[in-house]
Amino acid sequence: MAPELASFREVSRGLLARGLPPERVSFEEARGPWNGRVDALLSGMEAGALPVVPRDFLELAEKVVCHREPERWALLYRVLWRLTHGERRLLEREVDRDVQRLRRMERAVRRDVRSLVIRVRFRRGSSDDAERYVAWYRPDHLVVRLAAPFLVGRFPTLRWSLFTPDASAHWDLSRLSYGAGLAWEAPPRTGATARSLGAPRFRTPREERQVCAPVMMVGDVPDTREDGDAP
């Protein structure tokens, strides 16, 4: 399946509808484009009614799927199975080992989002006669889609592109879009990105201030405090 929440939800719905317990399921991320062949994979198995999934689980899963832990899919499905098979209040049991692991992943992802938003620095360039700011950043987890909306909120009047090794995000003043990642060693082909992320050249202090001054980071950042932390 594709390594994203929508794909996990589709797959897990099919598994739950057919009553497949976690011990009978093995998750593997698709190496190419995922075409959602859940029905084909589960053909011949009768589907039943879908159970209601708690909203707090979906909110937790939104963060956990961005973690790099390969076992996150199996862990999420195991907890989902338990939630829908008699343990409705499972997520309130903080001493449960499965819940503890999910919460640790959630906290790690939240911290990574906050770190990206605080530390990323955009550099000024131009593309198609329009000014654009470009940044490259290496997060610990797959957090571009979580962090990008915060950047839009902080820089709504600037055109910008954020590149990471795994994915990229682009804001054109009206639409936020996502694309492929970019390795630092692989310079972009053309345009402002090439001038901003290509091989560096030495500049005088005056040039550095005028041409590549980082954007000032102001405004709110995502709240990653845990319950009980002081404001």
- Where is average pLDDT lowest: 46-50, 78-82, 213-217? 213-217
pLDDT at 53 over 80: yes
In order of 3, 8, 12, the CA distances from 30 in angstroms are: 7, 12, 15
Reference 153, options 210, 201, 220, 105; nearest CA is 220
What residue type is 197 in one-letter code? L
Residue-level pLDDT at 125: 77
Query: End of a domain among 86, 114, 142?
Result: 114
Q: Same domain, yes or no, for 59 and 107?
A: yes
> Is residue 130 located within the same domain as residue 103?
no
Place of tokens 């804001």: 171
Task: Tell me the residue range of the domain where 74 lies.
Answer: 5-114
Give this prediction's pTM.
0.75
The reported pLDDT for the residue numbered 162 is 96
In a shared domain, residues 132 and 98: no
Using the CB atoms, write b or e for 102-118: b if 16+ within 10 Å.
bbebbebbbebbbbbbe
